Amino acid sequence: MAKKLVGTLKLQIPAGGANPSPPVGPALGQRGINIMEFCKAFNAKTADMEQGAPCPTIIEYYQDKSFSMDIKTPPASYYLKKAAGLKPVGKRNRPKGAETPGREVAGYVTAAQVREIAEAKMKDLSANDVEAAMQIILGSARSIGIEVK
């Protein structure tokens, strides 16, 4: 007999950084998911990724309190800001793009870097080839004020 799906949950968790504190603990606890089991499984799956990279995660939880997770690649904006060398700022210590994209430039990336990002994100994008994926990444770069040289 198949497990009965109760619901899904989307969280963005740093790679290798799942712990029972907020936002992970409360989000899982109120749905009856074993928090420590999730943290161990997530940290094991993301051990080969760059530590601290934000990982969008879709968690499906079932009636018998079990769960399955689908871990996506980090957002394109994370890769773009890292390639442009933007410095972390603000309360959360994250890199920030341009205040007014299109009028001001926050940083620069090369076409080779865009291709590399597109290849890394290919499995999560709705593109048929690398050229189409590059166009998606270029749109993301434009929206955060990063110029391609």
Enumerate the CATH 1.10.10.250 domain ranges in the chain, comma separated. 76-148
Is domain 76-148 given the CATH code 3.90.45.10 in the classification?
A: no
In whole angstroms, what is the distance from residue 94 CA to residue 101 CA?
A: 18
Give me the residue label for tokens 């590059």.
134
Give residue 84's pLDDT.
85
Give residue 60's pLDDT.
92
What value does the mean pLDDT take over residues 54-61? 92
What value does the mean pLDDT take over residues 56-73? 90
Backbone angles phi, psi at 8, to 5 degrees: -125, 160
pLDDT digits (tens, 9 = 90+) for 65-124: 888 999 999 988 888 888 888 776 655 667 777 777 778 888 888 999 999 999 988 888
- The structural architecture, per CATH, of the domain 5-71 is 2-Layer Sandwich (3.30)
Give residue 118's pLDDT.
92
CB 31 within 8 A of CB 8: no
Give residue 81's pLDDT.
86
What value does the mean pLDDT take over residues 34-45? 91
Enumerate the CATH 3.30.1550.10 domain ranges in the chain, comma separated. 5-71
Whether residue 131 is predicted with pLDDT greater than 70 in this model: the reply is: yes
Distance of CA 128 to the CA centre of its chain: 21
In whole angstroms, what is the distance from residue 149 CA to residue 43 CA?
A: 37
